[in-house]
Amino acid sequence: MTITLDSQTLDSRIDLFTEQFQQVKDEIATVIVGNAEIIDGTLISLLAKGHVLLEGIPGIGKTKIVATVADVLHLAFSRIQFTPDLMPGDIVGSDVVHESDTGEKHLGFQKGPIFTNILLADEINRATPKTQSALLEAMQERSVTVGTTTHTLEPPFFVLATQNPLEMEGTYPLPEAQLDRFFYKLRIKYPTADHMHKIMDRTTRREEPEAKTVLDRDQILSMRDTARSIPIARSVQDYAIRLTLATHPDTSEAHPMTKRYVRFGASPRGTQTLVIGGKINALLSGRVHVACEDIREHMLPALRHRVLLNFEGEADRIDPDVILTEIMNDVPEPTE
Amino acid sequence: MPRSGAGGPTSAIVRMLRRIDRKVRLNGFLERLSVALCLVLGSLLVIRVSNLLVPIATPPVLTIWVAGAVFFIGFLFWSRLHLRRLGHAAGVADSHGGLHDEMKTAHWFMSQREGSPWVDLQLDRAEKTAGRLDASELVPVTIPRRLWVVLVLAATVQGLALLPVDGPLLNFATAADSSSLGNSQEERFEDIQDILQADDADLLTDEARESLEAALEALQAEDMSLEELLRDLREAQAELEEGNLEVSAMRDALDEMSEALEGSEVLAPLAEALRNGDLEEAADVMRELSDLLSEMDPGEASEMLEELRSAAGDDQAAMEDLREALEQALEALANNEMSDAQQALQEAADAMDEMAERQSAQEGRNEASQQMQALQQNMQQQQMAQTMMQMQTAESADESGSAEAAMSVSSDEVKRSAGGESGDQTGPPGNSTSDPTGDGQADLGESTTLEVQLALELLDKEEPELEEEIDPEDIFQEASRQQTSTVQYQNVRGLSTYAEGSALEVEHVPWRFRSLVKQYFLAIRPKERQ
């Protein structure tokens, strides 16, 4: 009987997870037109304790998406506009002199904008590598060390960084170590004509639509816990590992395209992304087990920024998505 | 502890997976059975068809069947070794039922000791799914299409077994090879056998018979080259034509005899028979004269015999027996021994019969000789075709470098064809049409002439390279020197053209760099005025 009760409880948690996820999506859709994949990817990253790198040309709503997500989730939101003269202290904060009412002066830590739940790092590739690296510890460890003091960031901590793929002048490409810390790299496409009509309709009137808050912090943390509870069979996990190894040019599992065009493949973080993303995908499909198709479904955003091309790949302008698609097509699913 | 115990919550999943596993194994068995039958029947068909087409040595039918049965049983035994596990059945259920890896996941967690409420939930859901599944619908028993091929193969093998065929239907042509007799070997064998069997009257000389029989044996043993067969045929032909000279001398003597007897009234029928070459008729006439001899008066008889004796001549070796018989008849008549004279005249008629037989025998030999001549010409044409094919192959193999090799090959062939085995021919190859063995036999030089012509053509192609090269500058400026040029100054190209030509044509520039050199000179060439 215990199992039955537990099963009912778990079934209700799954239903709640799916329902809440759908509520957030619907609310965001009241402001954002289209971009369903981007919204799904952003929410999955949030629920997987990851961070998202949004890439797209200017003016297609990158910042708007992030701001809307923050509005819907009722979380603390900060925005940092990355510029070449931005310093690490501008992000994490610094010790400053405080003067009390009695005139006493003492050093105190002034928190930077990173102490928030949702951080929008706008045009992250415009800051110098030194400043970019200020995000490294925060993104991975969820803590900030200033001087000898380590300050823990309050969960959930979710970084949404944007970058413009067109402008190369005055930009600093993100180092591989930092790229690897992003759960997904999402590419925002230019809207279609139908979507453009809807955007015009919504944004050229007197009153623009506003998203309402539908989820609070505790609900998000509960969803995170549910997502990680989903079991995965060894064969499916093995499939995710084989997909990852196929991106490594020096392994026996390497795909022919990998051997030709790839310098470094995805790290174990990439496999973690595949598995956790697969779990959330399974939950959203109403299942309590991960299928191979769940792994495949989000392989492109999970691994495209983790596959580093070699000279030949750069010279031939090979898109990592092409290599990953070939790997997906050629690596067989487990038969048992 | 694993969760797959009997009667447990996962027993329904296990039962369903076992049912699917049985279906999968049955389908696999049928598939492998069809493959094994195809292989066995296909092998039998290949052996049977090969046996019908070409004369190959095949093992006894029983051996083939036993080997096929052993292979088949071994194949089935090997296929039984590939027993599937339930995990594979779970994979089949997932893929056929569109279950999104639910059964694979359940099967994995069933074998794990540790669990969680989420795992139990997954197994609970998988059990419900398994209860809904129908194994027969999920994995239906399918008859492989290959079994139709098996039926067709079996019917074909059976049909071929019933087909009444005496021997191989085909004689595959072998590659052109001057050292082997090739595909017409059997035809030649039959031709020579015909010549030997046609020798009813024992016309062939012992030497000719020996040569032909040796050639037949060598052909049967397939260790004779075309040249050796030709040599044996020429020797046998020479043996056959050896008697022509004697028969020709005999014919001349008989003609002279006929002319000498034309004036005699009594001997006119004999003269006419001799003139017509009908020696048997002439022998009959002489026997009639022998019978009439007793009725003649001695003087008339003696005069007739004397006339016959003088007509037979004195120095013709072929008429020796006839001459002796006539002299005996004259001598007996002089001794008034009429019966002896008649007997001697009968012997003269017998000598005439013998000459008739000798003439007839030689005519038969000449016919056999003509057959051999035709056979030799046929073989020489094939040899020539093979030689030309070799030359073409050599030319196409290496256009530049192997031209000389092809010349050498053709020259060797020309020498071999023209000089035969001895190779001591000293005159121009194309003029040699006689047998190099020195027998002065029939013309054999047609193929040689063609080959020599080909060789000369190849030589002609090389001749222009030996000519003295002309300076291109001279060609362009010769007209100007002679003040006969009508070309405008502006249209005359710069000197770089000559340098370009010099670099490309005179100096050795590898082909792969020629376009580069040309592009260089085109680039530095002065622009022509408009």
Record: contact A235-B102, CB cut-off 8 A: no
Residue contact B104–A285, C-beta within 8 A = no
User: Is B104 close to A233, i.e. CB distance below 8 A?
Assistant: yes
Q: Do B122 and A288 touch (CB under 8 A)?
A: yes
Taking CA atoms, what residue in B is nearest to A13?
B118
Tell whether A143 lies on the interface with B, counting CB pairs under 8 A: no
Between chains, do B121 and A229 touch, taking CB under 8 Å as contact? no
Q: Which residue of B has its CA nearest to A4?
A: B121
pLDDT of residue B471: 64
Contact between A186 and A42 (Cβ < 8 Å): yes
A chain contacts of residue B85, beta-carbon cutoff 8 Å: 336
DSSP code of B430? G
Q: What is the CA radius of gyration of chain B?
A: 48
Task: Give the nearest partner residue to A231 out of B9, B100, B118, using CB atoms.
Answer: B118
Specify the pLDDT at position A261. 92
Interface test with B, best of A9, A289, A296 (most B CBs within 10 A): A289
CA distance B102 to chain A (A): 7
**pLDDT per 10-residue tile (average), chain A, 336 residues:** 63 90 91 88 93 88 85 89 90 86 85 91 89 84 86 90 78 85 91 87 80 90 91 93 94 91 92 95 92 93 93 87 94 88
- Which residues of chain B from 88 to 107 reach within 8 Å of chain A, CB to CB? 88, 90-91, 100-102, 104-107
A118 forms beta bridges with: A77, A158
Please report, in tens digits, the pLDDT of each residue of chain B (530 residues total): 455 444 455 678 888 888 888 888 888 888 888 888 888 888 888 877 877 776 666 666 677 778 878 877 887 777 666 666 788 888 888 888 888 888 888 888 888 877 788 888 888 888 888 888 888 888 888 888 888 888 888 888 888 777 766 656 655 444 444 444 445 556 666 766 776 666 555 666 677 677 777 777 766 666 666 777 777 777 777 777 777 788 888 888 888 888 888 777 778 888 888 888 888 888 888 888 888 877 887 788 888 888 888 887 777 777 788 888 888 888 887 887 888 888 888 888 888 888 888 888 888 778 877 877 877 777 777 777 777 767 666 655 554 444 444 444 444 444 444 444 433 444 344 343 444 444 444 444 444 456 566 656 665 555 444 445 566 566 656 656 666 656 555 555 555 556 666 665 556 677 777 778 878 888 887 765 44
Residues of A in contact with B117 (CB under 8 A): 3, 6-7, 10
**A160 interfacial to chain B (CB closer than 8 Å):** no
B129 touches chain A (CB under 8 A): no
- Using the Cβ of A12 and the Cβ atoms of chain B, whether some distance falls under 8 Å is answered with no
Contact A285 B101 (CB under 8 A): no
Q: Closest Cα of chain A to B9: distance in Å?
A: 11
Contacts of B83 in chain A (CB under 8 A): none
Q: Which of B10, B92, B108 to mutate to test the interface with A (most CBs of A within 10 A)?
A: B108
Contact A336 B120 (CB under 8 A): no
| Beta carbon pairs, A and B, within 8 Å | 71
- A235 and B104 within 8 Å at the Cβ level: the answer is yes
Q: Do B120 and A285 touch (CB under 8 A)?
A: no
Using alpha carbons, list the distances in angstroms from residue A117 to A72, A133, A242: 13, 19, 35
The length of chain B in residues reads: 530
Residues 224-253, chain A: which have Cβ within 8 Å of B? 229-236
β-pairing verdict for A184-187 and A52-55: parallel
Distance from the B108 Cα atom to the nearest Cα atom in chain A, whole angstroms: 6
Closest residue in A to B96 (Cα–Cα):
A335
Query: At A186, phi and psi to the nearest 5?
Result: -105, 135
CB of A19 within 8 Å of any CB in chain B? no
Q: How far lies A68's CA from each of A31, A73, A188, A198, A335, in Å?
A: 7, 9, 15, 17, 43
Confidence (pLDDT) at B309: 80
Which among B105, B117, B124 is the nearest to A236, CB-wise? B105
**What is the C-alpha end-to-end distance of chain A, expressed in Å?**
31
Select the residue from B104, B112, B116, B124 to test the A interface by mutation, using most A Cβ atoms within 10 A: B104
B127 touches chain A (CB under 8 A): no
The answer, for A332 touching chain B at a CB cutoff of 8 Å, is: no
pLDDT tens figures, B454-476: 656 665 555 444 445 566 566 65
In whole angstroms, what is the distance from residue B392 CA to residue B497 CA? 39
CA dihedral B244, B250, B251, B257 (to 10 degrees): 170
d(CA B409, CA B121): 87
pLDDT confidence of residue B283: 85
Can you give the pLDDT at residue B521?
81
pLDDT score recorded for residue B109:
85
Interface contact flag, B108 A6, Cβ < 8 Å: no
- In angstroms, the separation between the Cα of residue A218 and the nearest Cα of chain B is 21
* Residue of chain B whose alpha carbon sits nearest to that of A293: B100
Query: Testing the interface with A: which of B88, B94, B105 to mutate, by most A Cβ within 10 A?
Result: B105
Instruction: Kindly list the residues from chain A whose CB atom is less than 8 angstroms away from the CB atom of residue B122.
Output: 231, 288-289
CB of A173 within 8 Å of a chain B CB? The answer is no
Contact A150, A143 (CB under 8 A): yes
A236 and B101 in contact by Cβ < 8 A? yes
Which chain B residues are closer than 8 Å to A291 by Cβ? 100-102, 105
List all residues of chain A from 205 to 224 with a beta carbon under 8 Å from chain B. none
Q: Which of B98, B32, B40 is nearest to B67 (CA)?
A: B40
Q: Answer whether B21 touches A (CB < 8 Å).
A: no
Beta bridge partners of A94: A110
Q: Does any CB of chain B come closer than 8 Å to the CB of residue A13?
A: no
Whether the CB of B116 is below 8 Å from some CB of chain A: the reply is yes
Integer CA distances (angstroms), B391 to A325, B388, B421, B455, B461, in order:
56, 5, 21, 10, 15
In chain B, pLDDT over 70 holds for what percent of residues? 62
* B257-291 exposure pattern, b = at least 16 Cβ within 10 A, e = fewer: bbebbeeeebbebbbbbbbeeebbbbbbbbbebbe
State which residue of chain A sits closest to B106, comparing Cα positions. Answer: A233
- Full 3-state SS string of B281-322: HHHHHHHHHHHHHHHCCHHHHHHHHHHHHHHCCCCCHHHHHH
Min Cα separation A275/chain B (Å): 14
CA-based angle B473:B476:B481, to the nearest 5?
95
CB contact under 8 A, A336 and B91: yes
pLDDT score at B182: 47
Around B269, how many Cα atoms within 13 Å sit in the side-chain half-sphere?
A: 11
At A118 the three-state DSSP class reads: strand
Nearest-by-Cβ selection for A336 from B87, B100, B119? B87
pLDDT tens across B278-314, in order?
A: 888 888 888 888 888 778 877 888 888 888 888 877 7
Residue of A nearest to B120 (CA): A3
